Structure 1
């Protein structure tokens, strides 16, 4: 009877150990599937000119496409930057300029999914932003760590370019700290 109890306990413990791994796999699979559906909605927006929901119950729609050729990055940017939106892709802070238009656009995403690539960006890298009106090429000019509890990130009404923001450090065990990794890119023709 004791050996049987030990086997059952071992199986239960093994099952419990697999749960966090399966949750992580589920989150990554959801993010990848979302990008496929978002790509379809983005194509529909380009064809019709109207916002297109990626799935019927979505409370967001694609507003831009962000590409970093050197890193093989091609992601759809969504309207809004709520936690629910960021679960599916990078989100545009709607109080800022639409990505790819004059003014400062702020786009944020999670450090462990869609903006994990920010750790590999370098000063001088090119970022392409496509929106319904065309394409804009930008170049990374600065990368810094900001404390969001002391600084309101992205409030520069005179700026022109793109700001990408994610939590920092990239390998933190828990989310929700005040530090942010901030990348700024300006139009290529600007200095």
Structure 2
């Protein structure tokens, strides 16, 4: 935010500018989808990749919901989220695409470790992170190979300190709804 100092002071004193520890607002996840053929049995399935997961505060500030694993062979992935998997299955059905692939912990000789891997729903063969990364790069140059789905998570609170500026929709809440009541009930059960 770049405002004259006098305006910043006026907004702050007016209660329309406040330092918040978290962004509170609607959250959504954007998921890219790709048709992928199994190397072993030839069956086609749908694989997906979480591209963006954000919470947009009432003030317009965006915050990442979670950090995507930047390395191959990650033990946990945002693609395993049940809401994401449901959205992919629904979108694949609407498009007439093949069944979504399975995703879960699998051991591979290549990686020599267990990681969250996509596998063929027909024969169970692991697709592998490296071959899938190559498929995603190829699909980036051929628009008809992929599609997107958006998952709405509704109201969310994500830790992200920021100067919250009310531009007409209000400020991000300082605490989630029911926070004081929950804290009070914890205190009362502890005594």
- Normalised to the residue count of structure 1, the TM-score between the two structures is 0.22
- Normalised to the residue count of structure 2, the TM-score between the two structures is 0.22
Q: Which has the larger radius of gyration?
A: 2
The answer to which structure, 1 or 2, has the higher relative contact order (CA under 8 A, 6+ apart) is 2
Q: Which has the higher strand share?
A: 2
